[in-house]
Amino acid sequence: MPRYQAPLRDMRFLLNDVLKVDTYSNLPGFSDAPPDVVDAILDSGAKFASEVLQPLNAVGDRQGCTRNPDASVKTPDGFPDAYRQMVEGGWIAISGDPEYGGQGLPRIISMAFNEMCSSANMAFAMYPGLTHGAYSAIHVGGSDEQKRTYLPKLCTGEWSGTMNLTEPQCGTDLGLIKTKAVPQADGTYKITGQKIWISGGEQDLAPNIIQLVLARIEGAPEGVKGISLFIVPKYLVNADGSLGARNAFECGGLEEKMGIHGNATCVMNYDGATGYLVGEPHKGMRTMFVMMNEARLGVGMQGLAQAEVSYQNAADFARERVQGRSITGAKAPDKPADPIIVHPDVRRMLMDMKSFTEGARAFTYWLALQGDLMHVSPDEITRTRADDRMALLTPVVKGYLTDKGFRSASDALQLHGGAGYTREQGVEQFVRDARIAMIYEGTNGIQALDLVGRKLASNGGRAVFQVFTDMEEFCSAHEASEDMKPFVAGLQTAEAQLKEATMWLMQNGMSNFDNAGASSHDYLHLFGLAMLALMWARMADAALQKRATGDSFYEDKLLTARYFFDRVLPDAASHLAKVKTGAAPVMALKADAF
Amino acid sequence: MPRYQAPLRDMRFLLNDVLKVDTYSNLPGFSDAPPDVVDAILDSGAKFASEVLQPLNAVGDRQGCTRNPDASVKTPDGFPDAYRQMVEGGWIAISGDPEYGGQGLPRIISMAFNEMCSSANMAFAMYPGLTHGAYSAIHVGGSDEQKRTYLPKLCTGEWSGTMNLTEPQCGTDLGLIKTKAVPQADGTYKITGQKIWISGGEQDLAPNIIQLVLARIEGAPEGVKGISLFIVPKYLVNADGSLGARNAFECGGLEEKMGIHGNATCVMNYDGATGYLVGEPHKGMRTMFVMMNEARLGVGMQGLAQAEVSYQNAADFARERVQGRSITGAKAPDKPADPIIVHPDVRRMLMDMKSFTEGARAFTYWLALQGDLMHVSPDEITRTRADDRMALLTPVVKGYLTDKGFRSASDALQLHGGAGYTREQGVEQFVRDARIAMIYEGTNGIQALDLVGRKLASNGGRAVFQVFTDMEEFCSAHEASEDMKPFVAGLQTAEAQLKEATMWLMQNGMSNFDNAGASSHDYLHLFGLAMLALMWARMADAALQKRATGDSFYEDKLLTARYFFDRVLPDAASHLAKVKTGAAPVMALKADAF
């Protein structure tokens, strides 16, 4: 059976030594999170994740969810109780708005907690994750009354929330939505239509489920400019906050999937259900994007989270399984064979995974910190830069971390040999679960297109030039240090490659959009590598400053940084070459030649 | 539901235009396979694969195999009947020795048929695949009596065969085998021990199952030098060929796996079972390696086969699914959206898959042809070169094609978006099925080590220098052609990179074996890319010669070749850079630092 121990040491290193969260202690939220409080939260969060959620991970995979004849849905054994503990422990409300019962702590703290939950049990962690998304959408776009009615219960997770976007004829292209909303005399709407792939659309964890539904008001313009957002609660809420009538929708079926079996993926049939418009008519996409951007950062984190738990189990297996002898001579002559961790190719896989997860964690937490700063910093320039970084890099985190997270999980399976392919060992579940993260909340192809087609050129490229400045400033500040030389040199290479690709796109992507589209995947990966290079350079700097403590953690961090620059970053050259070939070879064949 | 149509056009192009099989018509086997006979075989093979095997693929995945209380095993509904049709159609015997009832056709023909079966139903195709492996082992290592007793029925598939290598404590490291063989007065042995992960160890397809079992004769030397190979039939065979007593072994359980559910993966318990020694005592590994090398080429083909069927379904989906508009303006203004094949990133995935499968098919068939030539060519130099290529390149085919085959299947899933993640769509099964090919018959890490640690240096590097010569001769012969320029230039680059990596390994891998081990994965991938470059250059040449026919097949082939050189081959640079970093960054951390 797989195990999971939260990587608390690494989390603390990031928060304290790399991101230096204590330097923001003057800001709202951060002032409530001194190091000892953060430590206590992480400690008990880690305990909750490994003792409550992780043991339910394999159970959830095997049992899956069941739709009962009355259209109710049963989640796997143990899920309702674990969810209750999560709500009662106040975990869902960590970084919620104190006005609605949240604890108001920085998002970077809830990100760390969410990573633990997602490593321990991804299918489970999706339920509170989507609830938080619904909370954010209403928080951003809802009326005061809607906020008062729904936010306190969504903030704590007492009620759960979902997002209803997809329909059979539209996934990526939401302009094709057919679900209709008919205005009623009382100001409400009647919602009718079918939504599919609704994660947690129906379940037995919470007494009320607040559906956020995209629909088209009768007579609305065609395409995405005619889409409105509605709150459609499972039970209507009475004026006193108690639950009233059952709304007119139900779960029409569950999807059978490759993984995340513990999460109910529902077909939702709305049959004149009562809905409440969020914000203005026809402008639902705007609010939905707020929600989606937050969710995309969370999905990137899921890639990291599955990589982390896969890595931990692979490392255990590599130390315990004895098989063959080291090619440089027996290392455990007292045993019938050496542990397989002596083999260089096993090390290669472990180092690939380790350098990815630690770099990806730094990237994710750093971006979550930008998410905090863009809201709470008193300094306008800081807020703008944070906002720019968030917008530009969200598709990079989502696309790069989920692609590589899946790869890491698959490498962990590989390291186990035949055992990895058996259900009993448990690591193949990580591969199946991790696979969805490359698809949902916008496929990684959509992330890449968002990056090159929208984010890159936004404000005249201000955000990407800020990234170059971030990298250059770091290099200037550290190039005098002998110890930092290999890391600064590596980062300079990465920045030059990223800049070359960016310039190529600016010159060629505008004149022929297909050039941008054809290069988008490789550009996103190149960007991901360059950001991890920045993160590894920053981590190396932090580790060097602490190296004198003699704690081997810092030396190991430096060695892992070296591995990243020597053995991972070379992929950037290949991505750059592919970016620069443009669309011609990609688009040459006729559609019927495939 | 997924579909499969055998890529007959591409197969014929390879056999007729690229490999020019008709030029070998003077050789045994080939003389029985004029183009019209080959065409007829491929046509009816294609029909068998798509009409009989493919419809059972999803059934097999859902039902899996069941072990009955009496230790017998039930395969999925329809499998026994399909197997019967396969035997009766003479399909298993295509390239079997005519002395034992085979049709004696070249292996390259059976390779094409096996690819179709593997695309249509990988779990099913493993049963006859392993039977052929058992056939080959006895053909190579068995006594005349053993050949007479077992080969006729194994050749046709009337009886099935297996390989029993793995035990709980040993997978890769067969030196740790504990299963023991006790000599009996009558010259037989009593075999006792437990074998695991035995594909088709028990099933209801054939009336007798011939287990080939590695075991240690009492008093044998330790390690791989004390391992012997035994024939252990499920039913002992009477002198008249009829089935006699049930042997003393049974299936102790079935493994639950990520995929290939239709193939029974058995725990086999031997309890004093009667076994017959194959060849000399303690020299079983030698014969087993003959069998494994053949099997490894077959597993590489499985990577290609899953990529092909995934690709076909992805191409269909890309043409049919309408979603979004082309970024260069609507292409199907009469429809609510354009088919997604208009999007460059969708094309990128399709082109990656197409250029891989076609290149991989050329590589596999070319190597299968070497397998024929090394047996039947009258010319010693031809035989030696074919043998050298076979030995050197088998791990490359196995490792590279299964890694990339899995990647292709995963890309096909990605192209389907959310639908790809559902079981109903069927493409996720290809991903789960394809995953095993990276592991069994020696993990891809073992293939890489076999390549750098054994095959490369064998005979003073004769085989790898022959590969360089093959590439250089091709370039010299075609560099004067204007049309061939981009392909010759690409191949020259690939060869230079492969040579540089090879020289680095020869200089650094011998002085520190860890350098060889740490670079082995990237070296194998670089080798795979270079071989595909050679294949694509050869295919481009063949297509250019036929281009004047006006058949768009040849123009498309040239465009796909261009894609390979422009957008796939750049990965070689990154692999070369990683090879040359050597072991230091890989081995730096202590085992407990992971």
**Cα B512–chain centre separation:** 32
Does residue A377 sit within a domain? no
Question: What is the per-residue burial (b if ≥16 Cβ within 10 Å, else e) of A101-116?
Answer: bbbbbbbbbbbbbbbb
Contact B439 A420 (CB under 8 A): yes
pLDDT of residue B482: 98
**Cα A524–chain centre separation:** 16
**Beta pairing partners, B422:** A257
Mutate to test the interface with B, among A266, A421, A525 (most CBs of B within 10 A): A421
Min Cα separation A183/chain B (Å)? 26
Task: Summarize pLDDT for A34-79 with one digit per residue, the tens.
Answer: 999 999 999 999 999 999 999 999 999 999 999 999 999 999 999 9
pLDDT of residue B515: 97
Integer Cα distance of A485 and B131 in angstroms:
58
B112 lies in the same domain as B187: no
Contact B563 A586 (CB under 8 A): yes
pLDDT of residue B386: 97
Q: Is B299 part of the contact surface with chain A (CB cutoff 8 Å)?
A: no
A147 lies in the same domain as A164: no
- DSSP β-ladder status, B243-246 and B249-254: unpaired
Residue B308's Cβ-side half-sphere holds a number of Cα atoms within 13 Å equal to: 30
Map residue A124 onto helix, strand or coil: helix
A contacts of B337 (beta carbons < 8 Å): 173, 175-176
By annotation, the residues of A acting in catalysis are 441
Does residue B524 sit within a domain? yes
Burial class of residue A427 (count of CB atoms within 10 Å of its CB; 0-12, 13-18, 19+): buried
- Which residue is it, tokens 């010759």? B488
CB B427 within 8 A of CB B409: yes
Q: Is A324 part of the contact surface with chain B (CB cutoff 8 Å)?
A: yes
Cross-chain CB nearest to A514 (options B344, B440, B583): B344
Mutate to test the interface with A, among B316, B398, B566 (most CBs of A within 10 A): B566
Q: Is B552 part of the contact surface with chain A (CB cutoff 8 Å)?
A: yes
% of residues, chain A, pLDDT over 70: 100
**Beta pairing partners, B180:** B192, B216
Residue B479 pLDDT exceeds 90: yes
Does residue A86 sit within a domain? yes
The alpha-carbon radius of gyration of chain B (Å, integer) is 24
**Full residue range of the structural domain in which residue A110 is found:** 8-155
CB A552 within 8 A of CB A496: no
Beta strands in A201-308 (DSSP E): 209-217, 228-233, 235-237, 243-246, 249-254, 265-278
pLDDT of residue B289: 85
What DSSP string describes B39-61? HHHHHHHHHHIIIIIGGGHHHHH
Please, which pLDDT band fits residue B526 given cuts at 50, 70 and 90? very high
Question: What is the per-residue burial (b if ≥16 Cβ within 10 Å, else e) of A318-329?
Answer: beebbbbbbbee
Which positions ≥6 away from A321 have C-beta within 8 Å? A339, A340
Please report the residues numbered 220 through 279 in chain B whose beta carbons come closer than 8 angstroms to any beta carbon of chain A: 255-259
pLDDT of residue A413: 98
A contacts of B350 (beta carbons < 8 Å): 594
What DSSP string describes B577-588? HHHHH-SHHHH-
Q: What are the tokens at B66?
A: 């069941």
Residue B51 pLDDT exceeds 90: yes
- In single-letter form, the type of residue at position B183 comes to P
Does residue B592 sit within a domain? no
**Cα B106–chain centre separation:** 17
What DSSP string describes A53-95? IGGGHHHHHHH--EE-TTS-EEPPTTHHHHHHHHHHTT-TTTT
B194 lies in the same domain as B249: yes
**Beta pairing partners, B213:** B164, B230
The yes-or-no answer on residue B115 being catalytic is no
Please, which pLDDT band fits residue B33 given cuts at 50, 70 and 90? very high
A151 lies in the same domain as A88: yes
Task: Summarize pLDDT for B385-439 with one digit per residue, the tens.
Answer: 999 999 999 999 999 999 999 999 999 999 999 999 999 999 999 999 999 999 9
Please, which pLDDT band fits residue A293 given cuts at 50, 70 and 90? confident
Integer Cα distance of B492 and B489 in angstroms:
5
Q: Is B423 part of the contact surface with chain A (CB cutoff 8 Å)?
A: yes
Please, which pLDDT band fits residue A291 given cuts at 50, 70 and 90? confident
Contact B327 A516 (CB under 8 A): yes
3-class SS string, A426-446: CHHHHHHHHHHHHCCCCCHHH
Query: Which residue, of B264, B282, B300, is where some domain finishes?
Result: B282
pLDDT of residue B346: 98
Q: Is A168 part of the contact surface with chain B (CB cutoff 8 Å)?
A: no
Please report the residues numbered 435 through 474 in chain B whose beta carbons come closer than 8 angstroms to any beta carbon of chain A: 435-436, 438-440, 443-445, 448-449, 453
Does residue B99 sit within a domain? yes
- DSSP β-ladder status, B189-199 and B180-183: antiparallel
Task: Summarize pLDDT for B275-297 with one digit per residue, the tens.
Answer: 999 999 999 999 988 888 889 99
- In single-letter form, the type of residue at position A475 comes to C
Query: Which residue, of B240, B261, B282, is where some domain finishes?
Result: B282
Instruction: Categorise residue A260: left if φ over 0, alpha if ψ from -120 to 50, beta otherwise.
Output: left
B468 lies in the same domain as B547: yes
* CA A528 to each of CA A108, A398, B1: distance values in angstroms, whole numbers, following the listed order: 20, 10, 36
pLDDT of residue B409: 98
Which CATH number covers residue A82?
1.10.540.10
Question: What's chain A's average pLDDT?
Answer: 97
Task: Summarize pLDDT for B344-395 with one digit per residue, the tens.
Answer: 999 999 999 999 999 999 999 999 999 999 999 999 999 999 999 999 999 9
Which CATH number covers residue A240?
2.40.110.20
Question: What is the per-residue burial (b if ≥16 Cβ within 10 Å, else e) of B422-434?
Answer: beebbbbbbbbbb
Contact B418 A406 (CB under 8 A): no
Integer Cα distance of B532 and A386 in angstroms:
46
Task: Summarize pLDDT for B185-226 with one digit per residue, the tens.
Answer: 999 999 999 999 999 999 999 999 999 999 999 999 999 999
Map residue B182 onto helix, strand or coil: strand
Burial class of residue B304 (count of CB atoms within 10 Å of its CB; 0-12, 13-18, 19+): buried
Please report the residues numbered 13 through 72 in chain B whose beta carbons come closer than 8 angstroms to any beta carbon of chain A: none
Q: What is the mean pLDDT of residues A115-125?
A: 98
Task: Summarize pLDDT for A458-507 with one digit per residue, the tens.
Answer: 999 999 999 999 999 999 999 999 999 999 999 999 999 999 999 999 99
Q: Is B354 part of the contact surface with chain A (CB cutoff 8 Å)?
A: yes
Mutate to test the interface with A, among B61, B341, B347 (most CBs of A within 10 A): B347
- In single-letter form, the type of residue at position A296 comes to R
Does residue B163 sit within a domain? yes
Does residue B490 sit within a domain? yes
Contact B418 A439 (CB under 8 A): yes
Number of domains in chain A: 3
B569 lies in the same domain as B452: yes
Query: Which residue, of B127, B155, B183, is where some domain finishes?
Result: B155
Which positions ≥6 away from A263 have C-beta within 8 Å? A60, A65, A123, A124, A126, A127, A199, A200
Contact B587 A560 (CB under 8 A): no
Q: What is the mean pLDDT of residues A322-338?
A: 94
Mutate to test the interface with A, among B126, B222, B586, B587 (most CBs of A within 10 A): B586
The alpha-carbon radius of gyration of chain A (Å, integer) is 24
pLDDT of residue A210: 98
Catalytic residue among B158, B441, B473, B495: B441
CB A260 within 8 A of CB A122: yes
Q: Is B139 part of the contact surface with chain A (CB cutoff 8 Å)?
A: no
A138 lies in the same domain as A216: no
Q: What are the tokens at B35?
A: 């183009």
CB B395 within 8 A of CB B524: yes
CB A157 within 8 A of CB A92: yes
B150 lies in the same domain as B19: yes
The predicted model scores a pTM of: 0.98
Integer Cα distance of B74 and A247 in angstroms:
48
Residue A289 pLDDT exceeds 90: no
Residues listed for chain B? 594
Burial class of residue A240 (count of CB atoms within 10 Å of its CB; 0-12, 13-18, 19+): exposed
Contact A343 B517 (CB under 8 A): yes
Nearest CA in chain B to A312: B594
Instruction: Residue A209: name the closest of A155, A165, A154 by CA.
Output: A154
B126 lies in the same domain as B176: no
A17 lies in the same domain as A131: yes
Task: Summarize pLDDT for B295-314 with one digit per residue, the tens.
Answer: 999 999 999 999 999 999 99
Burial class of residue B409 (count of CB atoms within 10 Å of its CB; 0-12, 13-18, 19+): buried
Sign, Cα dihedral of A66, A70, A72, A75:
negative
Which positions ≥6 away from A193 have C-beta within 8 Å? A167, A178, A179, A180, A215, A270
What DSSP string describes A480-536? T-TTTHHHHHHHHHHHHHHHHHHHHHHHHTTT-HHHHHHHHHHHHHHHHHHHHHHHH
Burial class of residue B299 (count of CB atoms within 10 Å of its CB; 0-12, 13-18, 19+): buried
A13 lies in the same domain as A133: yes
Cross-chain CB nearest to B585 (options A342, A516, A562): A562
Does residue A410 sit within a domain? no
| Helix or strand run (H / E) with residue B517 | helix B513-546
DSSP state of A159: S
Neighbours of B216 (CB within 10 A): 22
Neighbours of B112 (CB within 10 A): 27
Alpha helices in A157-239 (DSSP H): none
B164 lies in the same domain as B147: no
